Structures are given as C-alpha cells and as structure tokens.
A and B are shown apart, each in its own frame.
Chain A
Amino acid sequence: MTLFQASEIVKVFPGVRALDGVTLSLEAGSVHALLGENGAGKSTLIKVVTGLYRPDGGRLLLDGREVSFGSPHESASAGIGVVHQERNLIPGFTVGENIMLQKLPTSRGLIDRAAIRSEALRWLAELELDIDPDQPVTELSVAQAQLVEIAKALSVESRVLLLDEPTASITPNEAALLFRVVEKLKDDGRAVLFVSHKLEEVFQICDTVTVLRDGASVLSGGALSELTRDQVVDLMVGRVHEALNLPDRTVDTSVAPILELRGVGTATGHSEVDLTVRPGEIVGLYGLVGAGRSELAKALLGLDRITAGEVLVRGQAVKIRTVRDALRNHKIGYVTENRKEEGVFLEQSVARNIAVTIWDRLRKFLGYVPAKSETEMVKSYVEQLGIRIASPSQHAGTLSGGNQQKVSLAKWLAAQTEILIIDEPTVGIDVRTKDAFHTLIWDLAANGLAILLITSDLPEMITLADRVVVMRDHRIQGELPNTHDYDQMSQQVIRLIHATPSTLGAA
C-alpha cells in the first residue's frame, strides 16, 4: 500500500534548481532508500516533504489524498517523523526535553516533567541508550547526540519516518541497534525512508530505492534486490563507475619517524600513548566513538595540555602551543571531523577558506596580501581537488557537504604541511567523492606526506592504512599491520577493541 507519495517535485533556490521533477513513493511496511551524490537533492526533498520548504512545483500525497504542509509542525501532526542531516538539538535543554520537543506533555497547563522522563526513557531504551534524560544535551558526544535525535524522531510515533544520513557519525554497533529498530517499525507497517552514503547499510536494510541525480529521479522505486551495488553506483554517478584501484605504495620503514609520541598523557585523560608516523606512511587510528582520538589530535596541536611523556617531531622533542605553532614551525596540519563548525567558515568565500593558512606566506609589507597571488593559489587547489564552485567568491556554506570537506582539506594542502592528521574525512560523503578522497589520501602519502588517519569507517581504514592503531578509553589497545583484507582485519580490530587488558597481556 502506498502510504506517501511525492510527484514531480520542483524546488528552486536563488542560483540553483535543487529539485527538478522528483518522484518518490513510500510503501507501508517497507524501507526505502534515497540515494544520490552530494548535492543531488536528497536533503532538499526531505525538507520539502516535511513542510520546511514550499515546493515550486509538484504534489504531495498522503494516503492518496493531496496534502500541503506549511510548516514542520503540520507534517509532524500528519504523521511524518524525520531525522535531519544537520544536528538539531537545543542546547540548554535536557535530553528528555529534546526528545519530546515536538509534543511536550503537559498536565494542568504546565509541562509534566515526570512524563517527559518516562517517555524519553522509553525511546532511549528502544535504542539501548543508557543516558539520563535529565542530562543537558551539551554534555553528549557526537554519536550520543545523533542517537538522541533518532529517539526524538521515533517519539512522534509517525507512520512515515524519514532518516537523512542517520548513521553518518555513529559506530557500526550503534548502527546495528538502529537497524533493529527500523526492522521493528517496518514490521509495524510503517514506511521508512533511509538516506545514506554507506551502500553496505543500504543493501542490508532497504527494500526499494530511489536514485537522484542533479535534482531529478533517475530511478524511482526500484526493488533493491534486483540491483547490484555497481548498478546503483552507476545510476547515481550517471556513467559506469570504476572500482577504486589504488596503485602500489610502499613505506620506507628505515626512515626515522617524523612524528613520534612517547608515553603521552593529556589533561583530558590520555595516558601512555605511544605512536609513530613515518613520512609517506598512513597510520590509521581506529576506535569506538569517544575513544579520545580527536582529543589526542587536538592535544598534539597544542589545544589541550600534554601532561606526560614527550612528542617528537623529526626526532626533536617539541612543545607545541598553538595550531599556528604546529603549522609554521612543524608543518603539522589537522583536518577536523567537525567541518561545519571547525573546518570551514560557512559565511566566508571559498577562496578565503582555502587561503586562510597561506596568508602568512603570501603577505608582503604591512601584511598586504596581493589578491592575485591568492586567487591563483586558490584556483590551483580548486582545480586539483575538483571543488565544484561557481566562483571562488561563493560562500562555503552554500556548498554541498562533500565540497565543504574538500575545502577543509584544501587549506592544509595549500599550507604545504608534511604531517597531516585527517579526522573522519568522508563522513556524509558520496561514494564517488569518497573514492576520490581515498585516492587523494593515498596519493598524498605516496608523495611523502605523513598521515595520521582517524576514522570510524572500518572499510575506509582497511583500504587506506598501512598500520592500524586501536584506541580505547584514551589508551592505545594495540597495533596491527594492515593486510588490506577486510574480513580478516575487521575481526582482528574488533577483537582488539573488546579485549580486556588481561587478555591483551595474555596475547
């Protein structure tokens, strides 16, 4: 039974036709995948469906009847629940209130705190989340926040549930939990829309699929079982997609490490961290969310105090105080995992976003930065990374996620760093761009860059890393040479993560 249908939807923004005749239909009791490259229009479609944007053309049908939503409130009342791609929690509110925000329970005109607590607990339990509903959301980790949002969408008990990249920042374990819930909803006869760039997940839980390309649906409602992974990718990309084929790359192990950590402890709680990275080597740092990998990287950059041990760069013990220090004196760069807030300046031009690290180098008398040398520099990186922009003066905030990530990376390449720490480079990035990023990272290493790759994406780790270092609870659990064999490696890594210290000792 078709529960919900959107047909021939058109949505125009100043400067771009984001949706240009998209048709999508969701069946009761089935999970539908919505796929497409970055900027294809997936999120825009979801926003149109939930009444956030008014469509410039097309119709929405719920139970066969035409509907139009003036606001998210109306769509929610009509039974459509949604987890948006952006994180959308209210700081200063508790977990419970955030979950129940759409329909705060009241008794005698006042908000019923007990009801919030019990309701919230119910949905948190559904996701097997052990979080106190009275905790402020600001204290949550990224993954926890994501899961709370899912709980929030579930709490509406909607008949139609739209999930826009819900798994982008959670671990496979947590994702598995989510999928169990999705299965349950499906069995209840609800319709679920699932957006993800992780095709493994899509094939695991979805029944049917719609593929968007440049704002139009190129496949509308095909059964996923009849398609292969490659066919789906080809549809998204619009041509035959070649599998990633990385050239050989060898690390010269005789070279002295360019970055070495010896028994490092930090103010945030790391202890006894030993790590080495050689030029031309990709060291993968794996761990569950919250293991403390990003914090270790930030401590290295002087953003947090190092309390014990020593950090050696090119064999010299160093004390790095600021990012500027790291960049100028040690040629260390850091591509952050949080690109919206730390990676790009959303309200600034692409040119400035990339050039921010090189003004120091370009400046002439009195800090004058010649516009010409700047634009040339920027242009070359825009070209090399294939950043899709109309002009370098376009604001970074108007770019799709993938392009924002490229911008975030470009500034470190421009800075000519020799040690690059890359944190979760492909979160929310489509297959093709992801492959390109992988080629790029591989390539940077082949050219002699030392790379510390932090990722929670196991396939990515196994594709790229030369060695995999596993971290848990702010300590290094162990280190594995990478065989690039997925099945074998994934087992070893997972085992290492869950090894208790005693079993480690035994091993």
Chain B
Amino acid sequence: MKRFARSTEMTLLVIGIVFFIGLVIASGGDLLAANSLRVLLQFLAVPILIGLAQMVVLAVGQLNLAVGAIGGFAAAAMGVLMADHGVSVPLALLIGFLLAGIVGLLNGVLVVLTRINGFIVTLATMTILLGVQYRLVGTRTVDAYPQGLKTFGAAALFGVIPWIFVVALIVAGLLAVMLKRTVPGRQLLASGGNPIAARLSGISNDRSVIVAHTLSGAILGVAAILTVASSPGVNKSIGGDWLLPSFAAPIIGGALLTGGSAVVLGTVLAAFIVRFVDTARAEFSLEPSWVNFVVGAVVLGSVVLGQVRTRRQERRSVVKSPDVAVAGGVS
C-alpha cells in the first residue's frame, strides 16, 4: 500500500478525481447527467485500448508505430466485408479481429527474424497497411452494415455505462491478469525488464517479442470492432489519429520506454485524464488551440514543479546505481 501511495497511478488518480470534480462544478452538475456520463465514457473505450496496445509492446522494450494502421485496416476490412460482401456480423468481426492479430504476429516475427529495429518494421507495416486500408475503402465512408451492431455500439448499461466501455475494461482486466499473474505475461515483462537476465533464466526473448506484438494486434482488433460498432461508418481516416495518444497514455501512466513495466491501471487512468480534457474543451467551448496550449503548459508545468520531491531520489539513483538495471534491447 505504501508503494501504491507513492506510485504514478496514485498521482494520476488524484489528478483525475480533482479534474473531474472541477468539471462537474463547472458544468453546474450537468456532467453527472446520464447522457453526459455516457458520452464521456463512450469515447474512452478506444483510447484505453490503443494505449494498452502500445503498452504491451513498450513492456518488451519495443514500439508499435502501426497501431493506427492496424486498427484502421481491421476496421476497414470488417466494414467492407459486411457492407460489400454481405458477410454476417460475427464472422466479419472475427475475421477483422484475426487479421489484426495476424498483423501483430507478423510484426513480431519480422522483428525477430530480420533483427531490424522494431521501429522500422512497424513503420513499414504501417505504411503498407495504410495502403491496404485505402485500397479497401477508397474515399468512401462505408456504413451499410447491420443495425444490430450499431445498436450495440450505442447501447449502455443503465443508460450510463456504454457496453463498448465495459468491453475495454474487460480487455484491460484480462491484460492486467495476464501480465501480473500468468507465466507468459511474467516472461514477457522479464524480457522487457532485463533481456539478458531473462535469457539466462531460460526465457525466450524472441517469443516474448512475438507474444507482445501479437497481443498488441489482438487488442487493436478489439479496438477496431468497437470503432466499427460505435462510429457512423468506416473510412480511410479511421486510426489516423491513434499514434500519439497510444504513446501518451502508457507513458503518462508510468511505462518505461526501455521496457519491463506493466502499467495497465496507469494507462487507463491516463486515458481518462486525456478524455477529461476533451470534455473540458466542449464544456467551455474552447478553441482547440487553447486546449492544446493549456494541456502542454500544464503537463510541462507539473513536470517542472513535481520534480521538487522526486529530484532528490532521481539524483540518488543516478549515483546509487541499482545493480540490476541492464540496458534494454532484444538479444
């Protein structure tokens, strides 16, 4: 517990709660109305998932630049299958999900086989998938798919908690359990934390990398399903804006770029905070420029101010050298 109190998660939780209360007051309580809450949560589902998809690869010390492209591609595939080829909803969603997972797997395999930097591999797959997505939908917006799916996308538990948000939370929960409590999950984190040590302990870093990328693809598959279900249609712009938020959530949530950290809760909380910023924008009718400016200024400011306490620890750790930290990279 004491550790939790000092953790990034705790800080985020406090910031999130303060922010939310502020918003509720500013909206004169309107934000607590069922509809407002539902809208707030509705658009959290996908950001949470893309943050998690990135977090998983960050956990093995890799990057996935193709998050948006995988999601967009899978969404386009599902949309086109349903609208143009009359494939049934469950089958189309399954195919889309599998495609995303397979692309993730492919990313992992390519990184392992070619030993090219994951940055470049995912950049290349991103480029390819953007092409495929365009080829699938062109400039259209595909929306001729069964109403049932859209109904699910808009449905909410008690009229407040959207089902797609529940799905995202379930995925987050499963991922947390997987990373904290299963052998493959632990092995994945071990590979990220100290690949050499992991290898010496009989863990295959290659397998961890592949597992991480595949998981990332699969999570993006779910994100794509939720997007198809909840958006007015699918076009080539889907996924176009996922890359930066996918990094922002886990990194604000406390993930290390060098790997080894599993911050499911942090990622989810960070996604909440980012979402509150959107809500604030609508609430105060802010110009997006001001919103960006304020977000940037606040993050920079809090980073500068928040260091007063951490600074000393920071300095000590530079000096004290935890003997266990070994540089990342995949062996």
> Chain A residues with Cβ under 8 A from B202's Cβ?
71-77, 102
Q: How far is the CA of A111 from the CA of B194 in the complex (A)?
A: 20
Whether a CB of chain B sits under 8 angstroms from the CB of A268 is yes
> Chain B residues with Cβ under 8 A from A303's Cβ?
315, 318-319
Q: How far is the CA of A145 from the CA of B196 in the complex (A)?
A: 16
Interface magnitude class on chain A: 35 or more
Whether a CB of chain B sits under 8 angstroms from the CB of A86 is yes
**Cβ-defined contact, B201 with A72, below 8 A:** yes
Least CB distance from B188 to A in Å reads 11
> In the complex where A90-B260, A110-B182 touch, is A145 in contact with B201 (Cβ < 8 A)?
no
Residue from A76, A89, A109, A138 in contact with B197 in the complex, judged by beta carbons closer than 8 Å:
A89
Least CB distance from B182 to A in Å reads 6
> Chain B residues with Cβ under 8 A from A226's Cβ?
none
**Cβ-defined contact, B182 with A138, below 8 A:** no
Whether a CB of chain A sits under 8 angstroms from the CB of B11 is no
> Chain B residues with Cβ under 8 A from A140's Cβ?
323-324
How many CB-defined contacts (below 8 Å) exist between A and B? 103
Interface string of A106-124 (1 = CB under 8 A from B): 1001110000000000000
Interface residues of A in 323-339 (CB under 8 A from B): 338
Interface string of A292-333 (1 = CB under 8 A from B): 000100100001100000000000000000000000000000
- Nearest CB in chain A to that of B195: its residue: A90
**Cβ-defined contact, A73 with B203, below 8 A:** yes
Whether a CB of chain B sits under 8 angstroms from the CB of A101 is yes
> Chain A residues with Cβ under 8 A from B182's Cβ?
106, 109-111
Interface residues of A in 80-97 (CB under 8 A from B): 82, 84, 86-93, 97
Which of A77, A90, A145 counts the most B-chain CB atoms under 10 A from its CB? A90
Whether a CB of chain B sits under 8 angstroms from the CB of A237 is no
Q: How far is the CA of A110 from the CA of B312 in the complex (A)?
A: 38
Whether a CB of chain B sits under 8 angstroms from the CB of A62 is no
Q: How far is the CA of A92 from the CA of B37 in the complex (A)?
A: 36
**Cβ-defined contact, B181 with A92, below 8 A:** no
**Cβ-defined contact, B200 with A97, below 8 A:** no
> Chain B residues with Cβ under 8 A from A52's Cβ?
199-200
**Cβ-defined contact, B193 with A92, below 8 A:** yes
Whether a CB of chain B sits under 8 angstroms from the CB of A223 is no
**Cβ-defined contact, B323 with A90, below 8 A:** no
> Chain B residues with Cβ under 8 A from A106's Cβ?
182-183
Least CB distance from B245 to A in Å reads 25
Which of B189, B315, B323 counts the most A-chain CB atoms under 10 A from its CB? B323
Whether a CB of chain B sits under 8 angstroms from the CB of A104 is yes
Whether a CB of chain B sits under 8 angstroms from the CB of A341 is yes
Q: How far is the CA of A145 from the CA of B189 in the complex (A)?
A: 19
Least CB distance from A375 to B in Å reads 28
Interface residues of B in 276-331 (CB under 8 A from A): 312, 315-316, 318-326
Interface residues of A in 41-60 (CB under 8 A from B): 50, 52
Interface residues of B in 171-188 (CB under 8 A from A): 177, 180-183, 186
- Nearest CB in chain B to that of A148: its residue: B324
Whether a CB of chain B sits under 8 angstroms from the CB of A185 is no
Q: How far is the CA of A26 from the CA of B320 in the complex (A)?
A: 39
Q: How far is the CA of A127 from the CA of B59 in the complex (A)?
A: 33
- Nearest CB in chain B to that of A87: its residue: B323
Whether a CB of chain B sits under 8 angstroms from the CB of A267 is yes
Q: How far is the CA of A428 from the CA of B111 in the complex (A)?
A: 36
Q: How far is the CA of A111 from the CA of B184 in the complex (A)?
A: 10
Q: How far is the CA of A104 from the CA of B323 in the complex (A)?
A: 23
Interface residues of A in 144-161 (CB under 8 A from B): 145, 152
**Cβ-defined contact, B320 with A295, below 8 A:** yes
Interface residues of A in 123-176 (CB under 8 A from B): 137-138, 140, 142, 145, 152
**Cβ-defined contact, A90 with B193, below 8 A:** yes
**Cβ-defined contact, B199 with A72, below 8 A:** yes
Least CB distance from A219 to B in Å reads 28
Q: How far is the CA of A298 from the CA of B203 in the complex (A)?
A: 37
> Chain B residues with Cβ under 8 A from A234's Cβ?
none
> Chain A residues with Cβ under 8 A from B201's Cβ?
72, 88, 101-102, 152
**Cβ-defined contact, A92 with B260, below 8 A:** yes
**Cβ-defined contact, A91 with B193, below 8 A:** yes
Whether a CB of chain A sits under 8 angstroms from the CB of B261 is yes
**Cβ-defined contact, B197 with A88, below 8 A:** yes
**Cβ-defined contact, A111 with B186, below 8 A:** yes
- Nearest CB in chain B to that of A145: its residue: B323
> Chain B residues with Cβ under 8 A from A63's Cβ?
none
**Cβ-defined contact, B199 with A89, below 8 A:** no
> Chain B residues with Cβ under 8 A from A77's Cβ?
202
A: which residues have CB within 8 A of B? Answer: 50, 52, 71-77, 82, 84, 86-93, 97, 101-102, 104, 106, 109-111, 137-138, 140, 142, 145, 152, 267-268, 295, 298, 303-304, 338, 341-342
A-B contact pairs, 7 of them (CB 8 A): A52-B200, A72-B201, A86-B326, A90-B193, A92-B193, A101-B203, A145-B324
By Cβ-Cβ distance, the 7 closest A-B pairs, closest first, are A73-B202, A88-B197, A89-B324, A90-B193, A303-B319, A72-B202, A110-B181
B: which residues have CB within 8 A of A? Answer: 177, 180-183, 186, 189-190, 193-194, 196-204, 260-261, 312, 315-316, 318-326
